[in-house]
Structure 1
Amino acid sequence: MSGTPKDSMEMVPSCSSSSSKEQVYTTQTSRHSLDGEVSSGSTAGSFTVTNLTRTLDMQFENLSYAVKTGIIKKEQKTILKSVSGEFKAGELTAIMGPSGAGKSTLLDVLSGYIENFNGKLSVNGLPIDNKAFRRQSAYIMQDSNLQPLLTVKEAMHFSSSLKIGDEMSKENKRIRVEGIIKAIGLQNATKTLTGQLSGGQLKRLAIALELVNNPPVMFFDEPTTGLDSSMSFQCISLLKQLSHQGRTIIW
């Protein structure tokens, strides 16, 4: 994979491959330089930085992945080749490269959706446990497939029931859901059907649904796709706030 640095961004080659033609460039933002305020309530169900039970750093070395392209000759096409790097808690990291370079595939590998890869993947320096990691991470894809006949509030409560279950009381789940809705900027759309939301609202709802169990790691596949420049700016600002709370944010 390759990326062409742009004047408006500082490009950091923290994810690299053994070949200069397949380098993945990322831009990172320190947790200390982020803008945006974080709420500081003390309620058990509140959506605050203090609710993160742990922070996670990800390391990966020599990740390679290939797919079969031929039935008879069993030919293979290499999608990723010897990609290495690290993602740190409290940082927003963007994986950049041209269309078809393998960015989405790398996210699929890192998030555990692809398991038949070669290379080493670890969390906080320890070999990754895919099942446990997927419980502690969230992956927001381009197509969120939200239920169009549910209201925003109904979708949030349904998500909290699935992701939290009986680990939290109904009252604390309600408080958390309301806190996330407010933090994400959807408090005026709680009774709106998801099928009637704007593109920007849909993106925010997709993120809100994954925040109910407060994951320390979040992956985003093309989060600004389909948004205008104003909505894209708001989306990136939201991702910055999430990383400011100590999360590892990769997109």
Structure 2
Amino acid sequence: MSESQVALELVDIYKAYGKLEVLKGVSLTAKDGDVISILGSSGSGKSTLLRCINLLEQPAKGEIVIGGEELKLKPGKEGELEAVSRRQLEHMRSRIGFVFQNFNLWPHKTILNNITEAPINVLKQSKEQATARAEELLKKVGLYEKRHAYPGNLSGGQQQRIAIARALAMDPQVLLFDEPTSALDPELVNEVLSVMRELADEGRTMLIVTHEMRFAREVSSQVVFLHQGQIEEIGPPEQVFDNPTSQRVRDFMSSHLG
């Protein structure tokens, strides 16, 4: 088997809000097929790190490389980095699927239109092609029968599964999940995790910020533990969960897996 390609590389990412440093030089590499869970206490910089990858948050320093292509950045007025080329940024964003905590679906569009919008407008697919793919993805997440409904008629778990289908419709190289189950009622969490588990089994490259410890342990090829904007521990799940070198991680695990 050939050496797997690097899907995403983050080099020395810094981010601050005023004097508060949220990320202090985080570097991370995901190869094709890696599932990396990002754990840590609230406020450790997990979500900010994900949002820096596609410039939803602008880092102050660092490099972002997706599939071997470096996102060209320059210092902006506020001292934060911004894309040199809007066009390159849009192209890079189309290769990254982002699943948000609060779904971010368009309430005035049907489920089908939520999924076909970007493939038609960004990837320039025909309506027929985009619709066929959307219907296939809706079957995959178990919601084909809801294709003509609106997001407001669906449960949170259903909306999140639609958000996953929407991300997949762009055929991204990397999928980012920002606490995808934290806004859900407990009984709806498993329906979302089971879709994510299936994606991991298919070899999708995923970075997942999550509090679902058992899930992270089962699906991850690597686990990253962030503390105050730095990587405190990184390694395979059996090491980070069962035998962490850091006392802080040991304390975290014993309180969350107790």
Counterpart amino acid of residue 214 in structure 1: D
Identity of aligned residues (%): 31
What whole-Å deviation, never above 9, does each CA across 1:71-105 have from its counterpart, x for those lacking one?
A: xxxxx111111222212221221111111111111
Aligned partner of 1:39 in structure 2 is none
79-88 or 96-105, which deviates more: 79-88
Cα RMSD of the aligned pairs, angstroms, is 2.4
Which consecutive residues of structure 2, in runs of 5 or more, have no partner in the other structure?
Answer: 73-87, 209-258
Sort the Cα spacing of 1:115 and 1:181 in 2 relative to 1 into closer, same or farther, 3 A: same
The reply on whether 1:93 has 2:93 as its aligned counterpart is: no
Deviation of residue 230 (structure 1)? Answer: 4.5
Structure 1 stretches lacking a partner, 5+ long: 1-53, 69-75
| Distance change (3 Å), C-alpha of 1:56 and 1:212 | farther
Residues 57 and 89, structure 1, Cα contact 8 Å, conserved in 2: yes
1:190 aligns with 2:147: yes
Give the distance between the partners of 1:231 and 1:93, measured in 2 at CA. Answer: 23
- Say which of 83, 86, 92 aligns to 2:26: 83
Q: 1:140: which partner in 2?
A: 99
Question: How many positions carry a matched residue from both structures?
Answer: 189
Corresponding position: 1:171 with 2:128: yes
- How far is 1:229 from its partner? 4.2
Structure 1 partner of 2:115: 156
The CA deviation at 1:187 is 1.2
Alignment of 1:8-27 (within 5 A): none
Question: Could you tell me how far apart the structure 2 residues matched to 1:55 and 1:204 are?
Answer: 28
Displacement of 1:188: 2.1
Letter in 1 for 2:7: D
Deviation at residue 126 of structure 1 after TM alignment: 4.9
Q: Which residue of 1 aligns with 2:193?
A: 236
The answer to whether the 8 A contact 1:90-1:247 is kept is: yes
Which structure's residues are more often helix, by fraction? 2
TM-score, structure 1 normalization? 0.67
Q: Give TM-score, length-normalised by structure 2.
A: 0.65
Q: Which residue of 1 aligns with 2:8?
A: 58
- SS of residue in 2 equivalent to 1:179: helix
Query: Would you say 1:225 and 2:182 are equivalent positions?
Result: yes
